[in-house]
Amino acid sequence: MTNMLQNRWWSWGFRSAILLYFILLIVFPIIGIYGQSLTNGWAALVDNLTEPIAWKSVLLTAKLALFATIINILIGTMAGWVLIRYRFPGRSLLNSMVDLPFALPTAVVGLMMLLLLGPRSEVGHWADSLGFTILFHEPAIVVAMVFVTFPFVIRAVQPLLEEMDASEEEAAYTLGASRAKTFFRVILPAMVPGIMSGAMLAFSRALAEFGAVVLVAGNIPGRTLVASVYIYGQIESDNPAGAAAVSVLLLTFSFLVLWLVSYVQSRRTGR
C-alpha cells in the first residue's frame, strides 16, 4: 500500500513538473505575444498587419519558404532513399551530417552562406560572369532556408523506408512492373505521409528563420526584407506592437502547420 502511494506521489510530481515547465516556457510566452499584439485593440492589430512593408515581408517570406520546401521535398526524398537503400563508403558519416543544421548556430550558417556566395567566392564570381548576383537577393535567402530545414524531409522519410515490406516490391517485379512503375505505384505512396510531414515542418521552420538569412538577405523593404528581420527591426524601432502583430501571424500559421502534421501522422498510424 505504501509503495502504491509513493508511486502515485512520484507520478503526480512528475506530471506537475512537466505541466509547470510547459506553462512557464510555452504557454505564458505565447499568451504574452498575443496580448502584446492586442495592446492597442483589434483595429491597431489590423493596421499593423496591413502596413505595406509588413505585409510584403510576410508574403515574401511565405513565397521563399515555399520554394525552399519544394527543393527540400525533391532533394530530401532522394537523399533519404539513397541513405536507406544503398551501402557505400562514408554512408554513416553522411547520415550523421544530415543533422548538422540542427547543431549549428544559425548565425554561423549565415556567415557560411556569406563566405560561400559572396562576390569574392568562386560561386559569386561564377554568378557575376552569368550576369546575376546571388548574395543580398532572393536566391541567397532560399539557399539559407534550404540549409537550415534540410533534415526535416530526410528524417521523416527514412523510418517509412525502413518499415516498408520488401515483399510488396518483389510482388510488383514478379508481376512485370518496371523499377520506375514500382517506385511510383508502390514505394512513393508509402513515403508520401513522411514527405508531407517533413515538408510542412520545413516550411514552418523556414517562415521563422532569422540568423541564417539576416546576413545574406540585404534586408531591402519590399524586396528582400523577410518577416523575422522585419520583426527585429520593429523591436529596434521601439514598436513592440507592430513586431507582435507579425509574430502572431507567423505563430498562428505555425500552429496550423503543426496541427496538419499531427493529423497526417495520426492518419498514418491509424489513431
Pull the grid cell for residue 45. 492589430
pLDDT tens-digit map of 117-167 = 777 777 777 777 777 777 788 888 898 999 999 899 999 888 888 887 777
Average pLDDT over the chain, rounded to an integer: 81
Judged against a pLDDT cut of 60, whether residue 6 lies above it is answered with no
User: Distance between CA atoms of 201 and 169, rounded to whole angstroms?
Assistant: 29
Each residue's pLDDT tens digit, 94-125: 888 888 888 888 888 888 888 887 777 777 77
Residue 40 has pLDDT above 70, yes or no: yes
- On the question of pLDDT at 243 being above 60, the answer is yes
CA separation for the pair 127, 119 (Å, rounded): 9
- Are 134 and 127 in contact by the 8 Å Cβ rule? The answer is yes
Sorted by where each begins, the domain ranges of the chain are: 1-37, 43-269
* DSSP letters for 138-205: HHHHHHHHHHHHHHHHHHHHHHHHHHS-HHHHHHHHHTT--HHHHIIIIIHHHHHHHHHHHHHHHHHH
For residue 69, the model assigns a pLDDT of: 93
Instruction: Give the pLDDT band of residue 71 (cuts 50, 70, 90).
Output: very high
Cβ atoms of 204 and 254 within 8 Å: the answer is yes
Whole-number pLDDT of residue 31: 80
Q: Please, what CATH class does the domain formed by 43-269 belong to?
A: mainly alpha
Do 6 and 217 contact (CB within 8 A), yes or no? no
Least trusted range by pLDDT, from 2-11, 184-193, 209-218 = 2-11
Which of 124, 191, 128, 139 has the alpha carbon at shortest distance from 160? 191
- Region 168-180: mean pLDDT is 72
User: How many whole angstroms separate alpha carbon 72 and alpha carbon 253?
Assistant: 20
Cell of 42: 483589434
pTM of the shown model: 0.82
In the predicted structure, residue 252 carries a pLDDT above the cut 80: yes
